[in-house]
Amino acid sequence: MKITAIDEYSTGVELGLLPGDKIRSINGRKIRDILDYRFYIADEEVEIEVEREKERLIFEVEKDIDDTLGLNFEPIKVRMCGNDCPFCFVDQNPSGMRKTMYFRDEDFRLSFLAGHFVTLTNISQRDLERIVEQRLTPLYISVHAIDSEIRKFLLGLKREDHLLDKMRYLTENGITLHTQIVVCPGVNDGKVLEETVATLSKFFPEVGSIAAVPLGLTRHRDGLTKLQPVTTDYAKEFLKQADEVAEKYRKELGMFFIYPSDEFYIRAGEPIPARKRYDTFEQFENGVGMVRTLLDDFKSVKKEMPKSLQSPVHVSLLTGDMMHEIMEKEIIAAFRMIKNLTMDLVKVDNDFYGHTIRTTGLLTGQDIYKICSDHDLGQKLYLPGNCVNDKMQFLDDWSVVELSEKLNIPIEVCTNDFGAILDDIKKMSLINE
């Protein structure tokens, strides 16, 4: 573990640790990554073995349990996925993108740290024991199907991966698992889905939830296994089945247990369910309950809306095809009730991946530019935060700065915090006055 930086006034500075030092071990335990470091540094008395150039140094430290010494490290070297899922989005990227877009990760550490879904196919008994020892809970597991042959097809496996044995070991040792099923029409739905849910329910409450999300099919599928898309009619029928199954487990377990993602309801043209349908919102980051939360949170924003701005303001808000109708009806209509405010909603279709991909998180800079360059966007464009990564880059390597320069307009990257957008609009009104 190579130290890249040390926080000012930290214990690490007092010890004389330096950027470039490598943490070899703590109390005799080898340090492989940030999870090892966090776990073993928590003792009050630690002996740290450090490699500095070719020299070996030992630091003995008495500290508070929560003192991590203020050390910052290189990113984790992520494990690569060896599966060959026919619906894998990475395989549906066009050529010519940055290398990271073609890397398939399968790393239980990222499941714990960032909520990434893993299949457990590449996990060893040693890894399982480490998860239990270091209490890496919860983890997020892609199950897709319990039926052995169907699971092997959906993961591109040639042999049984003993998923249930791994899940049994983890759950019996107190590790919570949240699971997902990528729904592939005609493959893992119907009776197969019911079997999968029934089997997972036997691990309840350690298996705390199942998210059902529709597969995504881009237009870049040459040479890939043919799969059926989730259509409007299919989404309607799937929701009927999912609700019947969920009601069964609500009676048995006290929770709905299986939760279709928001995209299923939008695709089907069905109302977004009330909060109670999501129980504890365990799979929010997986697109389950996000829209319900957005709509409920917006109710408090509406109460703070002024009847009029002091001077005229014109702004635009960007969205993808999936959320366009909801945004127009539930959000934008309310803003347009404010006198002196012009708020336009700009819908961007996904030409890059194909119009079957409807989420804002998969929009590219070039598609946004293509649509927005023909619009009068006003004084500012608000861009959903899930369009870009932490470096403010889109999937096609366009940057927010580049897009802003090409459109000649300030761009504000925002979350679904419409209260912050309202405050920003009020400030613009005062400046315009």
* CATH for 160: 3.80.30.10
Decide if pLDDT at 432 tops 80: no
CATH of the domain at 25: 2.30.42.60
Are 115 and 251 in a shared domain? yes
- 151 and 232, same domain (yes or no): yes
Asked whether residue 398 falls in the same domain as residue 417, the answer is yes
| Same domain for 116 and 256 | yes
Instruction: Note the Cα 194 to chain centre separation in Å.
Output: 26
Residue 410 in this model has a pLDDT that exceeds 90: yes
The answer on pLDDT for 151 being more than 80 is yes
In this prediction, residue 282 carries a pLDDT of 95
**What local confidence, expressed as pLDDT, does residue 370 receive?**
95
Tokens of 143: 């199950």
Note down the domain range covering 66. Answer: 3-73
**Predicted local confidence at residue 433, as pLDDT:** 63
pLDDT score for 87: 95
In a domain, 299, yes or no: yes
Largest CA distance in the chain: 70
Q: What is the pLDDT of residues 384-399, one digit of tens each?
A: 999 998 899 999 999 9
Any domain includes 83: no
In a domain, 340, yes or no: yes
pTM comes to: 0.92
Q: How many domains does the structure of the chain reveal?
A: 3
Q: How confident is the model at residue 110 (pLDDT cuts 50, 70, 90)?
A: very high
- Mean pLDDT for the stretch of residues 313-320: 95
Residues 137 and 202 both lie in one domain: yes
Instruction: Report the mean per-residue pLDDT for the chain.
Output: 94
Summarize pLDDT for 265-300 with one digit per residue, the tens: 999 999 999 999 999 999 999 999 999 999 999 999
pLDDT band at 430 (very low <50, low <70, confident <90, very high): confident
- 326 and 370 fall within a common domain: yes
- Residues 358 and 427 occupy one common structural domain: yes
Tell me, yes or no, whether 41 lies in a domain. Answer: yes
354 with 397, same domain: the answer is yes
Same domain, 215 and 94: yes
CB-side neighbour CA atoms (13 Å) of 232: 4
244, 270, 288: which is the final residue of a domain? 288
Looking at the structure, tell me whether residues 32 and 117 fall in a common domain: no
Say if 168 falls within a structural domain: yes
Residues 122, 251, single domain; the answer is yes
Residue 365 pLDDT > 70: yes
246 and 116 part of one domain: yes
Q: What is the pLDDT of residue 101?
A: 86
Per-residue model confidence (pLDDT) at position 172 = 98
